Structure 1
Amino acid sequence: MRNLLMRVSYDGTDYNGFQTQPGGHTIQDYLEEAIHRLSGEQLKITASGRTDAGVHARAQVFNFYTASPIPLERWCMALNTWLPEDIVVSDAMEVPLEFHSRHAAKRKTYRYTINANQHPDLFNRRYQIHHYGQLDIPAMEQGLRHLIGTYDYTTFASRKSTKSSHVRTIFDAWFERDTSMCRPGTRDQGVIHTYLSGNGFLQHMVRIIMGTLIEVGEGKRHPDDMKIILEAKNRAAAGPTAMGKGLMLWEVEYDITGNENPLQEF
């Protein structure tokens, strides 16, 4: 028996999220079906975490146990022949049998993208939201800084959250702005990428943070309100849940050794 760890990227637009659910049509469903077609095994994979409907992943990580003798170097290409074109497995490695892709994750980074140019981007519309008005980007950056640290993030958790604790740590959070598509003499502000990196995130947490930060950018809230909103520990104190299509699971990091190819390099 082997424990295989893989990295998968996907465009989540047309899927009901990553995790298997009664309605089907999830990323997990397609991955497990591809593995079944390849190896003949009916199994369940374990992912680093779930993503909601419409949310994308640049580098989701999952593992599973297999008795198949298929060589490691053949798995990615073989699986991709059975997967839809918007799901791509890019890396595979063997890990210790006790490895669990969710429990072993040390750091996750998400990226949320806002197109703040005057007109929508036709070719990237599936991966960003378009904001029609001008945003106070420095105010949004100031508000975001209030969320870095270890706190109870109940305010920014879905009301449906079933977690026993809402305490999480955000290690870092920052903005990057791409102005390459801005037109001279217009109100274009560029494409704003917001990165949040932490030890874990609650259901809808990043999207609720972004919905609230957008209100800061619109002048509806003061940047320092973010601290008050956080301390309220009440979902009603925050802004709306931003659209899922702007969110992408950017990276999952591990820190264990005992393998010829340490996972921190995966």
Structure 2
Amino acid sequence: MTARNIRLLVEYDGTDFAGYQRQPGRRTVQGELERALSRIMGEEVRVVAGGRTDAGVHAIGQVVSFHTEGRIPIENVPEAANANLPRDVAIRGAEEASPEFHARYSATSRIYRYTVVNRPTRSALLGRYAMVVHKPIPVAEMASAAKPLVGTHDFAGFALAGDHRSTVRTLIRLSVDGSPQAATVTIQADGFLRGMVRFLVSGLLATAQGKLSPEELVRILETGQRPAWLCPVPPQGLCLARVTY
């Protein structure tokens, strides 16, 4: 029997997960997907993803793929899988993919969005999906600071330490839209280093607030060194919006 290659569009609330990738003894998105899909396919299923999100990070446009000999009709896969998934993970769509399609290696870019909201007090609802600040958001200043970072650069200064074969990435888009009350940072690249999106947003905020000069922000890019006080923004504001192919 010829194995099928199935592509899924997935969304999840990352709040209560230890991240996307399977980890022994911890609740992960990959683990939940594989349990549900193995049940409906009647065989062990292993999935690969277009983006491996960290703990607390959400997704509305995650793409996963897997090979299976399961015979369930493709149009029934989302409903059947969702019936076996917890409330914080859902399959939005399913399609048959070509044999060579790979959710990770076939991807040409990933698009993330980071949300910041200005509230006088903490938010019982928005706090799960946005970074809550207590002062006006300097949207124009953040957008201006973002411009020199677009392009192909070594982003080691905007990443957590890790075993990266290369820290060079192409940042296709880095834009800031919104108002002093609510803003969205959109980041598109051919690939991301661990923590890269959250450090970029942190750097833009610090520059817009006068904690870093625009020249100092660019120097992080040029030298690969960042100030010890510059920490990544919290994960809950980050969402994987789309994976392009």
1:112 and 1:33 map into 2 onto residues whose CA distance is 30
Retained in 2: the 8 A contact 1:109–1:251? yes
Deviation at 1:217, TM superposition (A): 2.6
TM superposition score normalised by structure 1: 0.87
- What residue in structure 2 maps to residue 164 of structure 1? 165
- What residue in structure 2 maps to residue 246 of structure 1? 237
- Note the 1:1-266 alignment, pairs <5 A: 1-159=3-161, 161-177=162-178, 189-236=180-227, 239-254=230-245
The AA in structure 1 aligned to 2:193 is L
SS of alignment partner, residue 82 of structure 1: coil
1:224 and 1:235 map into 2 onto residues whose CA distance is 12
Does 196-205 or 219-228 show the bigger shift? 219-228
Deviation at 1:118, TM superposition (A): 2.7
Q: Deviation digits for residues 36-59 of structure 1, max 9, x if unmatched?
A: 111221121010120000000011
Deviation at 1:119, TM superposition (A): 3.4
Unaligned ranges ≥5, structure 1? 180-188, 255-266
Deviation at 1:243, TM superposition (A): 0.5
Cα 1:140/1:16, change in 2 over 3 Å: same
Overall identity of the aligned pairs, in % = 36
Deviation at 1:214, TM superposition (A): 1.8
Deviation at 1:223, TM superposition (A): 2.7
Retained in 1: the 8 A contact 2:145–2:208? no
Retained in 2: the 8 A contact 1:120–1:130? yes
The CA RMSD over aligned residues, in Å, is 1.5
Retained in 1: the 8 A contact 2:139–2:177? no
1:239 and 1:75 map into 2 onto residues whose CA distance is 44
Unaligned ranges ≥5, structure 2? none
Q: Say how many residue pairs are matched.
A: 243
Q: Deviation digits for residues 46-79 of structure 1, max 9, x if unmatched?
A: 1012000000001100000010111000000000
Cα 1:111/1:72, change in 2 over 3 Å: same
